[in-house]
Amino acid sequence: MSKDTKQGFLFIFMAGVIWSTLGLFGKLLLASGLTSQQIAFTRLILGFIFLLVYTVFKDMGSLKAKPKHFVIFALVGLLTHCAFNVFYFKAIELVGMSIAAVTLYTQPFFLAVLSKIIYKEKMSRIKVISLVVVIVGAYLAVTGGKISLRGISTVGIVMGILSAVAFALMPTLSKPILGEVPSSTLLLYSFLFGAVFIFPIADVPRLIVLAANIKTLMLMLGLGFFPAALAFVFYAEGIRKGVELSIVGIISTSELIFSQIIGWVIFGEPWSIIKILGIVMMVMSTVMVVSVNSKISQ
């Protein structure tokens, strides 16, 4: 396995770990009075500002991009950043956090399908097994194997699945240009476009009033830096290192593993042997696909 591939695996894994703090910041900000749309807008606009400051100090030249690149930036901003937040938070509203999370973690399947269709990546037996294991593991980790479908909203399920598709589109759309522009440039502009698209429903005047509270402001800054700017930089860099997209989807589920741990440790959410088994299955799927890929590369 090449050094770049090893770094790519690590970057994708770290992106998931940092993304796991999204629920932490989200719950605390909801308790501070922000709506889900305001949280989504805050994440994008502050992520943009952090990346802009970083780019200005590191390399002003990377702010330049070709017109064709801006088309991709806008698509990623609309279809990934804006659409994902709208679909996912609507799913939570209609079917609850657990079912929304289960539908979201079908994203490795959609990413594998898209990578097969668009980039002709091979779907080996071990990849298929890993996909099944990680999706079943996600279901067990979130629900403990118990989930009621009585009176469930079909629209809510569809919203959750659409959020998974939107999430899978980020690496799919980004991969062709990551060899032409720095990952920070892609993220900088896609965050900006995403913030512009979600602006009309964010009630920004009210958001500014809420930000006058120092504790709320600190949480907003943390949201913009950790599960926005920093996590996506790791994610995009991992893709740029050449990690196959079908593997990216599996490794990035480290987010769910650590978000569950945060829920148990910080918020006192209930845990069970079945939930731990689900997490173990997710870890096994990642180890399986990485170790086999390592042997093939040698």
| In the chain, where the domains are located | 3-290
* Tens digit of each residue's pLDDT (9 = 90 or more) over 2-54: 788 889 999 999 999 998 888 788 889 988 999 888 999 999 999 999 999 98
0.75 cut: is pTM over it? yes
d(CA 280, CA 248): 18
Dihedral of CA 190/194/199/205: which sign? Answer: negative
For residue 244, what pLDDT is reported? Answer: 87
For residue 117, what pLDDT is reported? Answer: 92
* Tens digit of each residue's pLDDT (9 = 90 or more) over 210-249: 999 999 999 999 999 999 999 999 999 999 898 888 899 8
Residue with tokens 């709320």: 216
Q: Mean per-residue pLDDT for 191-205? A: 96
The alpha-helical segments, DSSP class H, found in the chain are: 3-19, 22-31, 36-58, 67-75, 83-95, 97-104, 107-119, 125-143, 154-174, 183-198, 204-210, 214-224, 231-240, 245-251, 254-265, 273-297
